[in-house]
Chain A
Amino acid sequence: MQMILVGFDGSEPSLRAAKQAADVAKKMGLGVRLACVVPPVWLPTADITGSLYDQLRESQLERARTLLKEPLPALKDFGVPVETVLTEGPPADELARMAESPDVEMVAVGTASGHAIARVFLGSVAYRLLHLAKKPVLVVH
C-alpha cells in the first residue's frame, strides 16, 4: 500500500499534519506512516560516561515510543491504516531518507505558527525537508 509519511514529534503542529495527512490518505486510498525521529543525544562535555549517554538515549527513545501512541485514537476516526516507525538521526535528513522508499507517496510535516516569533521562520525541520525531499512535501501550519 502507498503511504503518506508523517514527521511526528508530539507537538501540536505535528498532530495537525498527521490529521491532514490522514484526511488526504483517506480520500486518495493511502495509508499513514507516522515517523518519530529521535535526534542524536548532544553532549556538551566530553567527560560523560558511556552509560549516561546510553541512559539519555534510552530515555529519549522511551519518550518517543509513548508519543507515537498518543495520536492513534484521533487518527482512528479517519479509518485509514496507520503504522508507526521510530528512528534516530537528524529529523529532516531522516525523513527525507525514509521518503525515498518506493511506497511513500508524500511526506507531511507541521510547522509552528502559534505566535509571532515562531511565524517569522518556517520550522527548521520543514525548511530543511523542503530542500532535501525527493517526494512532495505537505506543510501544515
Chain B
Amino acid sequence: MRRILVGVDGSESCDRAVDLAVRIAQAYGVELALFHVSWPVFVSKAVQPGLAAELEEAAARRADALLAKYRPRADNQGVRVINVGVFGSPSQRLAEAAESEDVLMVVVGSRGRGAVASALLGSTSRQLAHDCRKPVIVVP
C-alpha cells in the first residue's frame, strides 16, 4: 500500500510534522509510517560486556514509547499506521526508506533532538531535503 513517511523523535516540530502527515495521509487515502531512527550504540565489549545490548534495548523501548504516543493521532482520523523502528543515521535511513515506490512523500520536523537542538534547522531535515529523491516536507 502507498504511504507517507513521517520521522518521529518526540521534538516539538516533530509533533507538528505528525499532525500534518496525518492530514496528508488522510487526504491521499494512504497509510502513515511512523518512522523512528535511533543512533547506533558504540560501546566496546571490553568496557562492559552486555552494555551495548542494554543501551540498544533502552533505545528500542524509547522508540516504542514514542510510536505509541503518536499512533492515536492517526487512529483518531481513521488513518492506517505502521510503526518502524530502526538503528542508523536518521536522514540516511529515512532517505533509504523513501526509495520504495510505495512512499509518496516524507514529512519531518525542522528541529530535532540532535546535539544542537536549538539550531534553526536540524541536520536531519537539512540532510534529508538534500538527499531524498521523493518530495520532503520540513515542518518548523
Binding site for B on A (CB under 8 A): 20, 24, 27-29, 106, 111, 113, 121-122, 126-127, 130-131, 133-141
Contacts and interface: CB of A to CB of B under 8 A. Distances in A.
B-side binding surface: helix, strand, loop or mixed?
A: mixed
Given A27-B27, A137-B129, A139-B136, 17 more contacts: A27-B28, A113-B133, A122-B126, A122-B130, A126-B129, A130-B110, A130-B125, A130-B129, A136-B20, A136-B137, A136-B138, A136-B140, A138-B137, A139-B129, A139-B135, A140-B135, A141-B135
A134 to B, nearest CB: 6
Contacts of A113: 133
Contact of B126 (A24, A130, A135, A138): A130
B101 to A, nearest CB: 16
A113 B16 CA distance: 28
Interface in B6-37: 16, 20, 23-24, 27-28
A24 B138 CA distance: 15
